[in-house]
């Protein structure tokens, strides 16, 4: 079974994906920023789960904001497991508030975590995957780059950049036998701590000038919850299960993009047309081979 590295596995989708893949028989490295400090409780819980179930679920330190940390984590996994087959890029953070009130440092910090972090991990793992001429990069993106709701501006921008980086990277790595799958969860209000742990803008002076809109911001979570039909909930386990399904597929059969959206916002239709348009343009450029997995 594949050996899988998952970033941001302390909570939410990352945590559930680690548990789901381990239950399916994968060797899973559930990485998190600080397993001996702020993430110690999560690390202990995953270790206990592995011990109690006999599943091959291992915890490792990986801070996606540090290239050295990403490099060290990959070196550790390769030495410990003897290989690596797939990476699930899941680490991310949410900002909630008024775009103008987020400073340039705020925005740069979020892009560093949500976008550049995946690039750092790729730079750490791709030399090995390219040498092996195999592997899978799974990106946990978001339908938010299509729906673009209010008061989540920096997060929308970071996920759009994350998606674009995944796409352009896929052209190049496909020529070394490395597949790309972008999984796009829709709005999820249960089972994660995204809204509860969302950061606010640091320019409080500017934020105060938008005070008339505060009631709208305060009901952002509830606004997303009412998207679902009665009796329907957005379960993050559905995302974890989709990642499991994708990794179970043979090389060359994995979907480039998969939308998991209980809100049925229509992002699947938009992205299908967008990808067809993009692929047609790439072919017109004469780069059709970058759209196919070279084995």
Which residues does the annotation mark as catalytic?
Answer: 155
The Cα–Cα gap between 254 and 235 comes to 22
The Cα–Cα gap between 117 and 98 comes to 24
Pairing verdict, β 3-6 and 86-89? parallel
The Cα–Cα gap between 186 and 151 comes to 17
The Cα–Cα gap between 8 and 12 comes to 9
The Cα–Cα gap between 280 and 268 comes to 18
Which element (helix H / strand E) includes 169?
helix 153-173
Closest residue by Cα to residue 91 from 143, 18, 31, 45: 31
Three-class SS of residue 264? coil
Other CB atoms within 10 A of residue 259 CB: 24
Structural contact between residues 121 and 7, judged by C-beta atoms closer than 8 angstroms: yes
């Amino acid at each position: 079974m594949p050996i899988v590295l998952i970033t941001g596995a302390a909570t939410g989708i990352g945590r559930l994906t680690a548990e789901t893949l381990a239950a399916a028989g994968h060797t899973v490295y559930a990485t998190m920023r600080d397993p001996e400090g702020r993430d110690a409780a999560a690390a202990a819980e995953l270790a206990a789960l592995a011990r109690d179930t006999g599943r091959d679920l291992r915890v490792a330190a990986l801070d996606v904001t540090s290239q050295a940390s990403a490099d060290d984590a990959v070196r550790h996994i390769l030495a410990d497991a003897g290989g690596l087959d797939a990476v699930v890029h899941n680490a991310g953070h949410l900002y909630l508030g008024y775009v103008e009130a987020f400073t340039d440092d705020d925005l740069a910090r979020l892009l560093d975590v949500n976008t550049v972090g995946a690039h750092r991990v790729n730079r750490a793992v791709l030399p090995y995957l390219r040498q092996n001429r195999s592997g899978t990069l799974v990106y946990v993106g978001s339908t938010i780059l299509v729906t673009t709701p209010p008061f989540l501006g920096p997060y929308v921008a970071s996920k759009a950049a994350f998606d674009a980086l995944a796409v352009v990277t896929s052209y190049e790595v496909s020529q070394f036998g490395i597949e790309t799958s972008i999984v796009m969860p829709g709005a999820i209000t249960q089972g994660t701590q995204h809204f509860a742990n969302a950061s606010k803008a640091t320019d409080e002076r500017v934020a105060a000038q938008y005070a008339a809109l505060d009631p709208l911001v305060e009901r952002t979570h509830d606004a997303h919850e009412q998207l679902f039909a009665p009796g329907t909930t957005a379960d993050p386990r559905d995302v974890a299960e989709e990642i499991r399904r994708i990794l179970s597929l043979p090389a060359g059969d994995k979907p480039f993009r998969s939308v998991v959206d209980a809100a049925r916002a229509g992002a699947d239709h938009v992205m299908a047309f967008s990808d067809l348009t993009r692929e047609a343009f790439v072919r017109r450029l004469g780069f059709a081979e970058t759209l196919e997995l070279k084995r």
